[in-house]
Amino acid sequence: MILLDGKVASASVKEKLKTEVAKIISNKQRVPHLAAILVGNNGASETYVASKVKNCKEVGFQSTLIRFDNTVTENVLLNKIEALNNDESIDGILVQLPLPKHIQESTVIQAIHPEKDVDGFHPINAGKLVQGLPTIIPATPYGIMLLLEYYNISTKGKHAIIIGRSNIVGRPMSILLSSNLLYGNCTVTLCHSHTTNLKELCLQADIVVAALGKPAFVTADMVKQNAVVIDVGITRVDDATSKKGFKLKGDVLFDEVSKKASAITPVPGGVGLMTIAGLLKNTLAVYQKKMR
């Protein structure tokens, strides 16, 4: 069994990014600059944003964290995004999701200029992805593709099953794996909460991508021998034995499924780290496009 180690694969991506930044600096140009907006103080969101900022620093990017409290109005947020859209020194903008209920996420996503949308959530970027045009790929599916590439996992002609159809993970993942790409060309089945024969479908799959947000949902009896298993899920589960009071759990019951899988991602240490790698690559790409 191969452990698809996000730490190793993301370190390799980050090394290449550092080399690019060194070239930028030696050409006396400004470095890529990411603006991250965080609304409220949701513990998981705080952790994700802190990690994004830290990783920007690690590869030599500039980053600016803009915080609003939970009561911020949609208008104030939209005005800030507009200012960042017009700010020449900002290359990429991300708004950490989820947002408070009184703010419409789709309105906020659509307010980000598509060329600064480093999360790749804007409908223009999502539409380009569907048509196979050059675009910004959402960071998590992009990170998974980078992981498949790093470990040279063969995908051509394989049956991939994706559990979860969100716009940020499952749906773009289904498009990438079914696209005519080196690590694509799968036959894809996209499952969701109304899929009736999930176990039966999973048992046919050579590649399983679990992205539903239900800890330990995928058990060994659902997985074919030697399947490749990608666990996207991250859920905080209460755990009194841990210092933080919780543990991060994936959507796959790792101890069981790893005995059957030919390759599998751990949680933590798998897709989460690759998501950051995808985000950093997107930030460099939007910067390079602008500087051309």
Site residues (vs ligand NAD, CB under 6 A): 140, 163-166, 168-170, 191-193, 195, 198, 211-214, 232-235, 271-272, 275
**255 Cβ contact partners less than 8 Å away, ≥ 6 residues apart:** none
Q: What's the min distance (Å) between Cβ of 71 and ligand NAD?
A: 24
Which is closer to ligand NAD, CB of 24 or CB of 207?
Answer: 207
Q: What's the min distance (Å) between Cβ of 4 and ligand NAD?
A: 13
**CA-based R_g, the chain, Å:** 19
Which is closer to ligand NAD, CB of 90 or CB of 210?
Answer: 210
Q: What's the min distance (Å) between Cβ of 155 and ligand NAD?
A: 19
Q: What's the min distance (Å) between Cβ of 169 and ligand NAD?
A: 4
Q: What's the min distance (Å) between Cβ of 176 and ligand NAD?
A: 14
Active-site position among 14, 80, 96, 206:
96
Q: What's the min distance (Å) between Cβ of 90 and ligand NAD?
A: 23
Using the CB atoms, write b or e for 102-129: b if 16+ within 10 Å. Answer: ebeeeebbbbbbbbbbbbbbbeebbebb
**Phi, psi of 206, rounded to the nearest 5 degrees:** -85, -25
Cβ proximity of 175 and 197 under 8 Å: no
Give catalytic status of residue 52 as yes or no.
yes
Pairwise CA distance, residues 218 & 14, whole Å? 31
**133 Cβ contact partners less than 8 Å away, ≥ 6 residues apart:** none
Pairwise CA distance, residues 175 & 166, whole Å? 12
* Strands 235-238 and 246-249, sheet pairing: antiparallel
Which is closer to ligand NAD, CB of 173 or CB of 284?
Answer: 173
Cis check: omega of the bond before 266, within 30 degrees of 0:
no
Give catalytic status of residue 119 as yes or no.
yes
Which is closer to ligand NAD, CB of 24 or CB of 59?
Answer: 59
Active-site position among 52, 80, 116, 249:
52
Active-site position among 5, 91, 117, 119:
119
Pairwise CA distance, residues 4 & 7, whole Å? 9
Pairwise CA distance, residues 66 & 42, whole Å? 15
CA 3 to chain centre: 19
Which is closer to ligand NAD, CB of 4 or CB of 24?
Answer: 4
Which is closer to ligand NAD, CB of 18 or CB of 214?
Answer: 214
For the chain, the straight-line distance linking the first and the last C-alpha, in angstroms and rounded, comes to 43
Which residue from 222, 133, 141, 128 is spatially nearest to 174, judged by alpha carbons? 141
Give catalytic status of residue 96 as yes or no.
yes
Paired residues of 68 in beta bridges: 39
Catalytic positions are: 52, 96, 119
